[in-house]
Structure 1
Amino acid sequence: MSRDRTGFVFDERFLEHDAGVATTVTMRAGSFELSPEPHPSSVFITRRTKEFLDGSGLASLMLPIAAREATEDEIATYHTRDYIAGIRAFAEAGLASGPFKAPWGEIDEETPLSPGSLTAALYAAGGAMNAVRAVMEGQVRNAFALLRPPDHHAMSNKAMGFCIFNNTAIAAHYARNTYGLERIMVVDWDVHHGNGTQDAFYGDPGVLFLSLHQQDWYPKLAGELDQVGHGAGIGYTVNIPLPAGTGDRGYRAAFEQLVLPIGLQYRPQLIIVTAGQDASWLDPLAQMMMTMDGFRQIAQCMVGLAEEVCDGRIVVLQAGGYSPAYVPYCTAAIVEALVGVDLGIVDLYDTAPELKRCQEIFSQETREALRAARVWHQSWWKL
């Protein structure tokens, strides 16, 4: 029975990562204070998402998978040991945030650390690996991990973009080192480019990294079409930059025209998804106009691909998403696709004309971006 179920990773220790609040307005001369505003990567969002999965009944349909603390050796499959030690010292000192540079590495100004951040980050990485283990050993068919903090901007020796350790890269290394996999496909649909994950596998044909993200957004100069890998890894980094306002139809077309054909040719033995729900139309940090239904559709695409090429083995790792109201809805739609159910959850703004527009728009700019991506990547893939 469990082999046909979806696994679910969540641990209360994830919530120990406190990103804090913003209160200060800086002027050219002086500053002043406002009432506290939660950091965009607020623990409140993760907590609400877990409550949503519980309240909707989705959590009860999944098999719980325990998280665990990742070891230093496991983290060091991507991050340097000096960086790991530096993050430990920085977090234990209770320092709030960067920018901070030291011989061991760097923490940018957007990545706060609290005394509980290291524990949360270690358990998030361990939870990602346990999700892979459960799928690879047949305990579950696929898995969803509601992780915190997010991961895909973290570089080997730099915490950036709210990210401390790169759960995706660590999970992919774990899958290969433990189970001898030769082909792993990582699909990153977070609205921001997964520069850390790209860096981890840029010269590696054994991990196909494919990223869909808002064009010319964050990080600066990351995720351009011409970033395709180097050496033996040329062609195995596939960037699909998309214009603002792409919407549900544009994302679905990107999957149909690029992600699925490339996946069918690569035929991975495991698929890992870096799932940021920050491409939604209500997200404050992007403008991509995706809806709950759009996320359901792209998740169904990935489930279908996994069924076709790797016996359903897909692990979905929660990353970004900054709308406290809407992230839980979009995440639930993804989980519904993994579980194979439709519980009849009504979209948050079901009758809003803006929602309908997000579902229907398919602009000429989006069509041209997809055409450009197909032409570019045809050098390595049949598209």
Structure 2
Amino acid sequence: MAYRSGLVFDERFLAHDTGVEGKVQLRDRVFQLSPEPHPSSAFITKRTKEFLDISGMTEMMRPVTARPASIEELTMFHTHAYIEGIRAFAQGGPGHGSWGEVDEETILSPGSFEAALYAAGGALNATQAVMEGEVRNCYALLRPPCHHATHNKALGFCVFNNTALAAHYARKRYGLKRIMIVDWDAHHGNGTQEAFYDDAEVLFVSMHQRNWFPKNAGMLEQIGSGAGTGYTINIPLPPGTGDRGYRALFEQLVLPIGIQFQPELIIITAGQDPSWLDPLTQLMMSMDGFRCISRLMLELAEQVCSGRLVMLQAGGYSPAYVPYCTAAALEPLLDVDLGIVDLYAGAPELEECQNSFSQETREALNMARAWHRQWWKL
């Protein structure tokens, strides 16, 4: 059977256990509530895989195995000292030192280091499968996520930067000169930006909720440095951007820039946290919106790089809705319509997410176009 799409998943990803939260801090004391899962819970990944399995999507995709990334591969971006610091921290060691640090929100367990190695290696194998023609495109359901991790800091639930490593790997192994990274996670991909800030061979495009996380990251004015000036594209978005705002963003900015850049490979950092049910953001996309932007990126890939597209799972914190949004993003890659009925079909809130296109969103897109017009024809 000839497969159009590949799927990376490994049960070892689920060994990254972020635990539960229940502590309430008052000024003079602490008390405990019944615990709830950490926002970045393995349950979300597990439930998403079940959705793909039971819907029949998994059997439509070529299995692409994950593997542990080697230390040499990790040091394409991260320092050797940081890698060893993370290994020690996962076993109960210190959270900071001369090697770097782990922020207080990024929880690691004894199984996290191996999970992170396999997630990074899974991203590399997804890239290999696409570059060697085993599949036209590949989706990697990875855990832990990636795009906040810098060369020596674990941040925002991220340990190793799978996206940056995949791009470095594609250049090193296949000699690529033009790679486009599109980060549609609701939070800014600060670590990926760091990796390629002065690099004209990797075009980094991040759309994210403005003035959100990380602090002071992803501002319009951050456009790269040196030879990389103009090759970092930040598009800050207002709360409530919704499906129509995202479609306009891709049609007015992402696609024209991608056509001009002519990448040889497209890598997507695919966070499902812009969804309207996400507890950590307010960008208000529906599953229809994810289907739309995935289709637009696939069409770009078909036009400029023979369909070569790698999609890496990143954020997304609604256990109920992440599986729906992930499946919707996958449908264009597989060229199928499963007829998935939205979890809240008919709800007025959902209709607002699908149909609203506010003046604030229009102004944000106009501002982004005017700014990036200094380097691109828009």
d(CA) in 2 for partners of 1:101 and 1:244? 34
d(CA) in 2 for partners of 1:22 and 1:382? 48
Alignment correspondent of 1:229: 224
Alignment correspondent of 1:289: 284
- Tell me by how many angstroms 1:101 deviates: 2.0
- Tell me by how many angstroms 1:92 deviates: 2.3
- Tell me by how many angstroms 1:268 deviates: 0.1
Alignment correspondent of 1:18: 17
Matches of residues 318-357 of structure 1 in structure 2 within 5 Å? 318-357=313-352
d(CA) in 2 for partners of 1:84 and 1:163? 13
d(CA) in 2 for partners of 1:264 and 1:106? 39
User: What secondary structure sits across from 1:212 in the alignment?
Assistant: strand
- Tell me by how many angstroms 1:23 deviates: 1.4
2:30 counterpart letter in structure 1: S
- Tell me by how many angstroms 1:89 deviates: 1.0
Alignment correspondent of 2:104: 109
Deviations 1:329-365 (A, max 9, x none): 0000011111110010100001101100100000000
Alignment correspondent of 2:177: 182
Alignment correspondent of 1:56: 55
User: What secondary structure sits across from 1:239 in the alignment?
Assistant: strand
- Tell me by how many angstroms 1:117 deviates: 0.3
Matches of residues 254-293 of structure 1 in structure 2 within 5 Å? 254-293=249-288
- Tell me by how many angstroms 1:327 deviates: 0.1
Matches of residues 1-383 of structure 1 in structure 2 within 5 Å? 2=2, 5-93=4-92, 100-383=95-378
- State the TM-score, normalized to the length of structure 1: 0.98
d(CA) in 2 for partners of 1:358 and 1:24? 34
d(CA) in 2 for partners of 1:337 and 1:226? 33
Root-mean-square deviation (Å): 0.8
- The count of corresponding residues between Structure 1 and Structure 2 is 378
Deviations 1:251-299 (A, max 9, x none): 0000000000000000000000000000000000000110000000000
Gaps of 5+ in 2: none
d(CA) in 2 for partners of 1:256 and 1:215? 20
Deviations 1:193-221 (A, max 9, x none): 00000000000001000000001000011
Runs of 4+ in 1 over 6 A off after TM superposition: none
Deviations 1:86-106 (A, max 9, x none): 10111123x6xx8x3211101
Deviations 1:44-67 (A, max 9, x none): 000000000001111111000000
d(CA) in 2 for partners of 1:23 and 1:242? 32
Deviations 1:51-84 (A, max 9, x none): 0000111111100000000000100000000000
d(CA) in 2 for partners of 1:218 and 1:50? 27
User: What secondary structure sits across from 1:311 in the alignment?
Assistant: coil
1:232 counterpart letter in structure 2: A
> Identity rate of aligned residues, in percent?
69
User: What secondary structure sits across from 1:115 in the alignment?
Assistant: coil
- Tell me by how many angstroms 1:172 deviates: 0.3
- State the TM-score, normalized to the length of structure 2: 0.99
User: What secondary structure sits across from 1:229 in the alignment?
Assistant: coil
2:223 counterpart letter in structure 1: V
d(CA) in 2 for partners of 1:313 and 1:163? 25
- Tell me by how many angstroms 1:236 deviates: 0.2
2:148 counterpart letter in structure 1: H
d(CA) in 1 for partners of 2:86 and 2:343? 39
d(CA) in 2 for partners of 1:349 and 1:23? 29
- Tell me by how many angstroms 1:163 deviates: 0.3
1:199 counterpart letter in structure 2: E
d(CA) in 2 for partners of 1:110 and 1:337? 34
d(CA) in 2 for partners of 1:101 and 1:365? 41
User: What secondary structure sits across from 2:159 in the alignment?
Assistant: coil
